[in-house]
Structure 1
Amino acid sequence: MRRAADLWTQYFEDVQYWLIHEAGGVRLKAKTELTAAIRECHEAAALPSHALGEVIPSETSQLSMTVHPPVGVVGVIAPFNMPLWLSIRSVAPALALGNAVILKPDPRTPVSGGIVLARIFEEAGLPAGLLHVLPGGGDIGSAMVSHAGVRAVSFTGSTQAGRAVGEIAARHFTRAHLELGGNNALIVLGDVDLGRAMSAIAFGSFFNQGQGCVIIGRHLVHESIYDEYATRLAAYASELVVGNPESEKVALGPIIDAKQRDRIHSLVLSSVAAGARLLTGGIYDGLFYRPTVLADAGPGIPAYDNEVFGPVACVTPFSTSEEAVALAADTEFGLALGIFTADVAAGLSIAQRIPTGMAHVNNQTLMDEAHAPFGGMGASGTSARFGSAAENIAAYTDTRWITVNSQVPSYPF
């Protein structure tokens, strides 16, 4: 794992090329993924010494203990939007804990989400046969999940696909770790310094063209600053450069394909037809979609009610904290939450009342660290199954109870 981390650094430019040209990420996004890959390998390197069993009490004189052997074969199904990052965060810990891995990258990103991992780990010295890359579509994923030899599956993708994976896994008693979609809310109280906050807000809304499960979709803003907020966000979005992702000056690159672009545009058009006000964006050139801000876009507006997976920010006002909590919680998703306020205690109080897997006070929702638990509730997945040592050990090892007696005990039989 440590050699792999060094190799990500050595081949930084080569892998960055693929993340830009295959996945359409800008340079900042490619660098972010590669940095994450290095950190994931460093964290995974320490995992074997953390998979500790324990000696537990017994009612008799026997030795009673638990151990954590590897599950055997782990299937990893990864998406296109962060192909390297969302592959390696499962591949590295699964390998480090003694498993073999079959990795199915998205068919749109088979190199940056699959082949580069195989080459890096091969050169790092991973024994042959422990990591296989199996590109393909949903049929390949279904075959993997239903195969008797696969004991656990780590899936990152849409809620719809995740439900299908979970159903197949349940029929075959395969352990399924599902990290799914999100329609994340950012709650902005009236005491916020908007000049200081706007950069973080725009980053959390438009990074990677909005193609991310932890992107801010719903901006819930106190009525006292609502007009100023919507105006500032629209002005900020209108200045962001969209174009060739190889350029250092570009903030947004292309949408992954025309199908996804058309879905984004359809949600924007139907939202305007439903009463939302288009403040900026709502247009595209080829696969390049302008960052879009919709005001008066609350419940009942399609782009507000659905995960857009594109650079679209829906802004709606609230009058009280209770109303903000109700709006934020009124969704099937429960992935990430952001709260901006000068009153940290008030922010923490709000965070504790909204059921999400992750909540960040005075930060945007697009947060991830290799050692921190990551996951959602409800339609966003099966809780935290990534990140921390405890979660990775629970995901990729079994827990066995073993007892040892010095001689065979007597029974009343």
Structure 2
Amino acid sequence: MEFYSINPYDGEQVGKYTALSSVELDEKLHKSGEVFKSWSQKPLSDRTGLIKKAGQVLRDNLEEYAQMITSEMGKPISESRAEVNKCAWVCDYYAENAIAFLAQEVIETDAKMSFVRHDPIGAVFAVMPWNFPFWQVFRFAAPTLTAGNTGLLKHAPNVFGCALMIEEVFKKAGYPDGVFQNLIVHHDESEKIISHDAVKAVTLTGSEKAGSAVAQIAGKYIKKSLLELGGNNAFIVLEDADIDQAVKTAVTARMLNCGQSCIAAKRFILLEGIYDEFVSKFTDSVSKLKSGDTTDDNTQVGPLARKDLADQLNKQVKKSIEQGATILLGGNQDECFHEPTILGNVKPGMAVFDEETFGPVAAVIKAQNIDEAFSLAENSKFGLGTTVFTTDIEKALEYAERVSDGAYFVNELVKSDPRLPFGGTKLSGYGRELARDGMLEFVNRKTVYVKG
């Protein structure tokens, strides 16, 4: 089987990749299990030193890696560079904090000694998406490998070039052969991989459909799974908010990566007292975003990663208009490019309210009061993150308990940060990545009890 990577901006073929044969896949799976035996016994100081070197490799090859991201999935080059730098940051973070995170936890009991160890578990299989082709992988790999596990990556087919470069990062950093392996395979091979004795867990970032399929397989073989799935984040603006700052943040929250982000703000819930001012300023700001050549440093909005993604987004826009939404800006599609679009008069039941819109489309909703605003925000099958803009911080914190999402950001867009746990609830998945929580997802928390 052949896989092709196509630049969504100009339609040119970026790469061609051949799937592993059954024998080749078996060899890689076996190697992952064998290498784990020695890798897991390396001193933690050795592993933290290597992840630190991986961060430096990323910085040393910044332009090459950024160009590949832009070529394969259409991200503006300035954002691609930022993504690579963020990967270097997460490497540094675990290099600096892994020893503390994995330290034994002493628990006082009637024993002479009782504590919890944090031991690696084996090979972890990662199924990763195309929208942040480097970041999503390093978010998993930095803590997982440093904890002493081995990694197996099945990336999205349209970013297999990025996948090969990521494997190269670990080789250049000096990791033993087999600690991190890229698997060029079709998703049909997932059950074979997950069922393999060497594989002890699976982590997936992707769609609800993909997550459900992988979780079912993991459950069948009693393997741990972590799912980071879709989102339909609410961005609530209260009447006392700094509107100019809220608008500035809202533009980034919706349009970063051409809106192709699970944690992007998608539903803008505005109190009626500031509705008109916010919509006017927001529309004006979005209309000024520069689209064009993704290799141009000044480009802010690129194409969607594939034409089928743009087609799906456009269907959601048209369906919502048929349901009563109004176009305030944009609405047009040309091949992979979808205009930044703002829809007004959006209500529950419309496609852009109920579904995840993976692209540059903002749904604007009017709320009569703060209680209705939070009720509208909670009216979602997803639970990834909520933003609230207000100058009354105390009031915002009082309402935090009303939000069932995995994240609640006040006066800032929802974003991932190596220092903070990241994950969702409901159909946005389960488990946590990043921070100490992310490192402990794939370790054996082993109780040790010594009687005197």
Fold shared by both chains (TM-score > 0.5)? yes
Report the equivalent of 1:53: 104
SS at match of 2:327: strand
> 1:50, 1:228 → 2: CA distance?
47
SS at match of 1:185: strand
* Contact map agreement 2:433 2:439 (CA 8 A) in 1: no
Report the equivalent of 2:137: 87
SS at match of 1:75: strand
Residues 223-232 or 307-316, more deviating:
223-232
In the alignment, is residue 99 of structure 1 matched against residue 146 of structure 2? no
Q: Match for 1:177 among 216, 222, 226?
A: 226
Report matched runs for 1:147-226 at 5 Å: 147-226=196-275
* Contact map agreement 1:321 1:350 (CA 8 A) in 2: no
> 2:281, 2:189 → 1: CA distance?
46
* Contact map agreement 1:48 1:96 (CA 8 A) in 2: no
The root-mean-square deviation of aligned C-alpha atoms, in Å, is: 1.5
> 2:187, 2:198 → 1: CA distance?
18
Q: Match for 2:433 among 364, 386, 396?
A: 386
Measured against aligned partners, the alpha-carbon deviations of 1:207-232 in whole angstroms (never above 9, x if no partner) come to 11110000111000001121222222
In the alignment, is residue 136 of structure 1 matched against residue 185 of structure 2? yes
Report the equivalent of 2:320: 271
* Contact map agreement 1:80 1:105 (CA 8 A) in 2: yes
> 2:189, 2:358 → 1: CA distance?
24
Deviation at 1:58, TM superposition (A): 4.5
* Contact map agreement 2:118 2:444 (CA 8 A) in 1: yes
SS at match of 1:76: strand
* Contact map agreement 1:255 1:261 (CA 8 A) in 2: yes
Report the equivalent of 2:115: 65
In the alignment, is residue 238 of structure 1 matched against residue 287 of structure 2? yes
- Unpaired segments ≥5 residues, structure 1: 407-413
Report the equivalent of 1:410: none
Deviation at 1:85, TM superposition (A): 0.2
> 1:211, 1:95 → 2: CA distance?
27
SS at match of 2:402: coil
Please list every run of at least 4 consecutive aligned residues from structure 1 whose deviation after the TM superposition is greater than 6 angstroms.
Answer: none
* Contact map agreement 1:74 1:101 (CA 8 A) in 2: yes
> 2:75, 2:388 → 1: CA distance?
27
Q: State the percentage of identical aligned residues.
A: 31
Alpha-carbon distance change, 301 to 402 in structure 1, aligned in 2, over 3 angstroms: same
Deviation at 1:28, TM superposition (A): 2.5
SS at match of 2:82: helix
In the alignment, is residue 347 of structure 1 matched against residue 347 of structure 2? no
> 1:54, 1:247 → 2: CA distance?
50
- Unpaired segments ≥5 residues, structure 2: 1-50
SS at match of 1:364: coil
Residues 45-54 or 199-208, more deviating:
45-54
> 1:55, 1:343 → 2: CA distance?
41
* Contact map agreement 1:242 1:288 (CA 8 A) in 2: no
SS at match of 1:74: strand
TM-score, scaled to structure 2: 0.86
> 1:204, 1:314 → 2: CA distance?
13
Report the equivalent of 1:411: none
Report the equivalent of 2:423: 375
In the alignment, is residue 38 of structure 1 matched against residue 84 of structure 2? no
> 1:369, 1:262 → 2: CA distance?
32
Alpha-carbon distance change, 325 to 14 in structure 1, aligned in 2, over 3 angstroms: same
Measured against aligned partners, the alpha-carbon deviations of 1:154-176 in whole angstroms (never above 9, x if no partner) come to 11111221111111111111110
> 2:67, 2:129 → 1: CA distance?
18
Deviation at 1:128, TM superposition (A): 0.9
> 2:100, 2:386 → 1: CA distance?
33
Measured against aligned partners, the alpha-carbon deviations of 1:285-313 in whole angstroms (never above 9, x if no partner) come to 22111100000012011111100111100
SS at match of 1:152: strand
Residues 225-234 or 353-362, more deviating:
225-234
Deviation at 1:59, TM superposition (A): 4.1
Q: Match for 1:319 among 332, 348, 368?
A: 368
Measured against aligned partners, the alpha-carbon deviations of 1:322-356 in whole angstroms (never above 9, x if no partner) come to 11111111111110110011211122222331111
Deviation at 1:140, TM superposition (A): 2.8
> 1:118, 1:137 → 2: CA distance?
18
* Contact map agreement 1:106 1:136 (CA 8 A) in 2: no
TM-score, scaled to structure 1: 0.93
Deviation at 1:146, TM superposition (A): 3.0
> 1:53, 1:373 → 2: CA distance?
20
* Contact map agreement 2:242 2:389 (CA 8 A) in 1: no
Alpha-carbon distance change, 404 to 351 in structure 1, aligned in 2, over 3 angstroms: closer
In the alignment, is residue 286 of structure 1 matched against residue 335 of structure 2? yes
Report the equivalent of 2:54: 4
Report the equivalent of 2:12: none
